[in-house]
Structure 1
Amino acid sequence: MHNVLAVLLCLLLAACGSSSNSPDAAQTQAAVAAFATVQQVFQHLRCQNCHIPGDAPLQFDAGLPHQMGVVRGPAGHGAPGLPCSSCHGEANPPESYGPNAPPGAPHWALPPPEKRMVTKDLSAPALCKMIQDKQENGGRDFAALLKHVSEDKLVLWGWNPGGNRAPVPVPHAEFVAKFKTWSDAGGPCPAS
């Protein structure tokens, strides 16, 4: 009898403990709804022009192949002899350079070939899983992902792309709040 009571007590404590750490149905539903905004941002051209399956980045609001035969290179910084920094500086150039002058932001580059974080043409569930995949996302957990999308200067460039480029349409603060809602619930993925 003592063993049965001990087992029941353990089960009761485990159930209570797990329910306090797990998101409830409403939190999960809110998180999945918030992911729709995360998806909208990750799949905007400002992101997916560089988060590509191949090795040639895209450019402009039409997602055209990058001019001059630009490629990812061995570390994501361009080919030897033609690094991204040949044209892209640490900040957007002055408006006097024209609307199609190469934009700039700190550490301008593509993701490295082994961690491409491809966003283009992924379904919502596939994108959700990819974002959480440490093999794809640079080894980031949710806290590091949140820091990346809220503080990284190259990510922030998407909201201030300069020239005649369309910025990410979701305000950055709203995007970060939705990302936090989604990640705080454990990153539940949409069903379809």
Structure 2
Amino acid sequence: MIRDWHLPALMAAAVLASALATGFSQPSVSATGQPATSVRSLAAPADFAHIADPKARSAAYFTELGKVLTNPRCTNCHPATDRPRQGDEARLHQPPVFRGVDGFGLETLRCNACHGKANFDPARMPGHEAWHLAPAEMAWEGKTVSQICEQIKDPKRNGNRTLADLVEHIGKDTLVGWAWHPGPGRTPLPGTQEEAGALVEAWAESGAYCP
């Protein structure tokens, strides 16, 4: 008889066996045929100095940041349902997994049953010590940049974070930072985490206006 506590290990073994049998997907490549790296740098806050209206300039900061927030590296873990998505194609996670009460998966199949503390590149398995889904109230999948903006500054829908917390979260959190170093087969977020942090800081300091 298979006991419940054996299931995570068995599922992880099944995933790896399936990948070995069918072959891993190839890493994304650029137009030059080289492995894909981060898309062009994000614009810096200084690049918006020509916008005279302070509110419009603030909204422009967030529009640029939206290139990060609407990317599959972010929306795959901020899904509209209780199932994460994966890959540049934002396909439903396989094997089927679900959020669970704490975002770390169901009791019978926790996220860390397969995802380790760091990427495991031989199996193209992403990883981080805090691997989990964002809370349901922070779902961004399918939303516009404007909708995300209104949501991300609402403490009831952003994990009870202040604007200062958001600057720290986007600019320095290592789980967020993973998305710029996602490993083979996944295109990194545009720019760098430092560039994204500068944009969200400029947005917060300018009144946090939305596009």
TM range (shorter): 0.7 to 0.9
Alpha-carbon separation, structure 1, partners of 2:87 and 2:150: 27
Give the match for residue 180 of structure 1.
Answer: 201
Superposition map of 1:11-160 within 5 A: 26-93=53-120, 95=121, 97-98=122-123, 101-113=124-136, 115=137, 117-160=138-181
Map Cα deviations across residues 124-179 of structure 1 (whole Å, 9 max, x no partner): 22111000111111100000111111121110000000122100012222211111
Which one-letter code corresponds to 2:192 in the other structure?
Answer: P
**Contact 1:106–1:153 (CA under 8 A) maintained in structure 2:** no
Unaligned runs of 5+ in 1: 1-24
Task: Name the one with the larger helix percent.
Answer: 1
Q: 1:112 & 1:174 partners in 2: Cα distance?
A: 25
* Conserved? CA contact 2:73–2:179, under 8 Å: yes
Question: 4+ residue stretches of structure 1 with deviation over 4 A?
Answer: none
Query: In 2, distance between residues paired with 1:62 and 1:50?
Result: 13
Q: 1:106 Cα deviation (Å)?
A: 2.5
- TM value normalised by structure 2: 0.72
Stretches of structure 2 lacking an aligned partner (at least 5 in a row): 1-51
Identity %, equivalent residues: 36
The TM-score with structure 1 as length reference comes to: 0.79
What RMSD over aligned residues (CA atoms) do the two structures have, in Å?
1.6
- Larger Rg: 1 or 2? 1
How far, CA to CA, are the matches of 2:79 and 2:159 in structure 1? Answer: 15
